[in-house]
Amino acid sequence: MRIHSTFLLVLTAVVFASCAKVGKEVAEEIGLVPETCGSDGARIQVDLDGTSFCADANITAVSDGTSASISGVSLLGNTFTIQVDSIATGTQRISEASNAVLFLNAGTPYVSIGDSAGWLVIDGYDAGTRRLRAHFQARVHNEMNGQTKTLAGSVDVSCGSVE
């Protein structure tokens, strides 16, 4: 009898495990979440040491015409924020004090530190549509556990006005 019960328990666990899917996969499958990340003018994508992030829950981007603040939240609650000090086209440095980056991964904060954490390239800014396109790469650090990670990604956002 004990062998029979153990067999049924193992079989049940295997059946449930084989049917389990990650929540995002199910949402994509039934059409609640698109399989691609965002659309033109509404996209924030980041790769954090091989883990993909897409701001598929909320994107907030505001600009005063010279700088911008961009933030995105994923359906899993992870958050990426970058403060763009100058929206002028070209390459800029990411550091603790300029073009600062914050990534919250499951509530764990990673921030750009030091004088040269990475780079930000402003690919373009259209003042008429307030659309900002940029890509970046930076090292971010968690001060609680000392862990350092590399993130790389891009933003293509339409900015609201803050004047």
Q: Per-residue DSSP letters for 64-127? A: -SS-EEEEEE-TTS-EEEEEES--SSEEEEE-SSSS-EEEEETTEEEEE-SS-SEEEEEEEEET
pLDDT in tens, 84-114: 999 999 999 999 999 999 999 888 999 999 8
Q: What is the structure's pLDDT at 20?
A: 46
Q: What is the structure's pLDDT at 78?
A: 94
pTM above 0.85, yes or no: no
pLDDT in tens, 21-67: 555 566 656 666 667 898 999 999 999 988 899 999 999 999 999 99
